[in-house]
Amino acid sequence: MKNCINILLIIIIIILLFLNFNKHRETFNKHIETFNNNSIQITKSIYTPLIKISKAQDFNTFGLISKLKFGIIKNPTEYKNIIIIPGLGDCILKQNNNIVWPINCSDINKNNYTSVHENNYTHLKTILNLFSALNYSSDKLNTLVYDFINLDISKIILIFKELLKKNTIIIAYDFGAVIANLCIQKLSEDEKKQINHLLLICPTIGGVPLSVREYLNGNDIINNNSTQNIDTTLLSFPNKQIYNNPVIIYNKIKYSSNNLSNLIKTNLNEDFDNSECLKIQEESLKNPKVNTIIIGSTGYNTPLCYDYMNNLRDTPKKYSPTNYINTPNNNNLIEGLQVNGDLVVPTDNLYKLQSLWGDNCKLEILKNINHYSILKSYELCIIILKYLNN
């Protein structure tokens, strides 16, 4: 009799899930249509919240989270301590009690006191929903937000150490991976033993060429006067340990990551000095010496080198897109020479990082998912669940 009741309850739950699924499917197209109509024209940026993504959830992800909520999939037997570190700019910044990021960006004054707050519309919403479905309590789920304009590494490390406890899993996305490793480098061996796993999602460790383009030209939302005053823009410049090939062409001369500073100093700003940023970046490239899983994605045109012809203040030369799987079927030209990647991070970077760190580092590559959509993907949720149960 008891078994019959259990079976009946399961059938009822499945029916409810099916009805809820259909309801979401009906609104899916409306979400997509609204998103496309109101979408910001910018399609890639190192500043993650400037990219507008659909609120509609992947059906497989929605089904997985629903099953967790209804207990069809069992929750972890042990609730580990979670530290989530968002991508570059995925927060709210206030100055004089007014929001200056990610809206009203022109009002940012680097010299004003800035308070940092969690972003309710974070790109990490799906991951937070996953933990909510797992019944994670607030004392076990921590988000470390940081002022990316005036980056105070010492302050961030102190906060990180306060959040660190036994059986910690760190989930760091985009530039959050840089922050995570900078914090880990300052831990003692005993403190490192508290970290079970370090999950780095689309890490920009070692920098990306897109940062140079946004430093020089800004984008459709913030101009270069703003991007050049953001500490993390320089910290995202390509590093020689990852990039062997040229990343900028100017007046037919090819510039590698090693001589970018000379290019800027000679042609734009004679006072330019990124030596301190370079020291911090080198620190972030060191092996964290904890169990590390790099999770990347591939199948998209990703800039590797920009040709500025004879004007660094103008937008770079455009090319026909390379025929990767997710190249749009149109004749639109795109800026820069492209390689395979996730729109922001070249896939080769991830293999180089894994090689640099060695045996304590594993690599998982997801196909046909980009730098922004990966956070909503079913595949990423499965990977996170896997390591929660390890």
pLDDT mean values, one per 10 residues, the chain (390 residues): 54 53 40 37 87 78 87 79 96 93 86 90 92 92 96 96 97 98 98 98 98 95 91 96 96 95 95 94 98 97 96 93 64 89 97 96 95 95 92
Tokens of 187: 């831990």
Sequence-ordered list of residues with C-beta below 8 angstroms from that of 208, at least 6 positions apart, any chain: 46, 236, 238, 303, 344, 345, 346, 349
Quick check: 243 and 204 in contact, CB under 8 A? no
**Which residue in 253, 178, 220, 184 sits closest to 335, CA to CA?**
220
b (16+ CB within 10 A) / e for 15-48: eebeeeeeebeeebeeeeeeeeeeeeeeebbbbb
DSSP codes, 267-311: HT-TT---HHHHHHHHHHTS---S-EEEEEEESEEEEEEEE-TT-
Cβ–Cβ under 8 Å, residues 123 and 53: yes
Q: Where are the alpha helices (DSSP H) in the chain?
A: 2-38, 59-69, 125-133, 153-163, 176-184, 189-192, 209-217, 224-227, 231-235, 260-267, 275-284, 347-357, 378-388
Contact between 213 and 220 (Cβ < 8 Å): no
Grouping H, G, I as helix, E, B as strand and the rest as coil, residue 154 is helix
Angle 161-163-169 from CA coordinates, rounded to 5°: 105
pLDDT tens string 85-117? 999 999 999 999 999 999 888 778 888 889 999
70 and 17 Cβ atoms separated by less than 8 Å: yes
CA atoms of 178 and 146, how far apart (whole Å):
12
> pTM for the full model?
0.88
Phi, psi of 250 (to 5 degrees): -140, 125
- Can you read off the two tokens belonging to residue 197? 């796993």
71 contacts: CB under 8 Å, gap ≥ 6: none
Burial of 245 (0-12, 13-18, 19+ CB in 10 A): middle
Beta bridge partners of 91: none
| Residue 105 CA to its chain's centroid (Å) | 20
Q: How far is CA 247 from the centre of its chain?
A: 21
- Catalogue all structural domains in the chain, each as residue range(s) with its CATH number: 78-210+275-388 (3.40.50.1820)
Is there a contact between 65 and 129 (Cβ–Cβ < 8 Å)? yes
- For 327, what's the count of Cα atoms within 13 Å in the CB-facing half-sphere? 18
Residue 101 backbone dihedrals phi, psi, to 5 degrees = -160, 135
Q: Annotate 2-15 with DSSP letters as a single string.
A: HHHHHHHHHHHHHH
Contacts of 22 (CB under 8 A, 6+ apart): none
The pLDDT mean for the chain works out to 88
Whole-number pLDDT of residue 107? 79
